[in-house]
Amino acid sequence: MLLGAGSDAEDVVQEAFVKGFRNLARYRGESSFRSWLLAIVANETRNLHRSRSRRDGLVLRATAADPGAAVGEDVAVGGVLAAERRAALVAALRRLPVKDREVIVCRFLLDLTEEETVTTLGWPRGTVKSRTYRALAKLRSLLDREEVRRG
């Protein structure tokens, strides 16, 4: 999951809807409205990751300034590892075909149910099920290859 359920995902979606509403006049109809709105959600997700990365960098610098802060080091290391995992996941998601990315975003980023995903994407239920399964397999494969490459 990129953000999963919870307050982070809710904040991203809420901010995306607000920005979408404010910029509705800029929607030109070159792509589907869903794609346009999902692009805003993706941008808001990247913004959240960037702000977390900056915050994690501040924690690292603060920990380096006070080496005796063992708890701070644990938090900083955990933050760095989490940021690296998020970055790898985002990179892998970007390499997926658009339709695979759409279903992953709906099911796991937006935390939509299967039925909500069917409605949102306008696909038959079987297509949502099979594409979700295949997209997750592709994503796992991309992440495994990245792990092997780094390891």
Residue 30 lies in a domain: yes
Q: Which residue has the higher pLDDT, 52 or 59?
A: 52
The whole-number pLDDT of residue 4 equals 47
Q: Is the dihedral of CA 133, 136, 142, 145 positive or negative?
A: negative
Query: Confidence class of residue 89 from pLDDT cuts 50, 70 and 90?
Result: confident
Residue 2 lies in a domain: no
Residue pair 48/3 in contact by the 8 Å Cβ criterion:
yes
112 is written with which tokens?
């939509």
Region 110-128 average pLDDT: 89
The number of folded domains in the chain is: 1
The whole-number pLDDT of residue 123 equals 93
**pLDDT greater than 50 at residue 1:** no
Region 82-89 average pLDDT: 79
**What span, in angstroms and rounded, lies between the C-alpha atoms of 9 and 133?**
22
DSSP line for 12-55: HHHHHHHHHHHTGGG--SSS-HHHHHHHHHHHHHHHHHHHHHHH
Q: Which residue has the higher pLDDT, 65 or 102?
A: 102
Query: Confidence class of residue 95 from pLDDT cuts 50, 70 and 90?
Result: very high
Q: Which residue has the higher pLDDT, 4 or 127?
A: 127
Query: Confidence class of residue 56 from pLDDT cuts 50, 70 and 90?
Result: low
Q: Which residue has the higher pLDDT, 138 or 13?
A: 138
Total count of residues recorded for the chain = 151
* 0.95 exceeded by pTM: no
Residue 1 lies in a domain: no
CATH number at 119 reads 1.10.10.10
Query: Confidence class of residue 127 from pLDDT cuts 50, 70 and 90?
Result: very high
Query: Of all residues in the chain, what percent carry a pLDDT higher than 70?
Result: 72
Domain range for 18? 7-150
CB burial of 84-112 (b: ≥16 within 10 Å; e: otherwise) equals eebeebeebbeebeeebbbbbbbbbbbbb
**What span, in angstroms and rounded, lies between the C-alpha atoms of 62 and 64?**
5
Residue 43 lies in a domain: yes
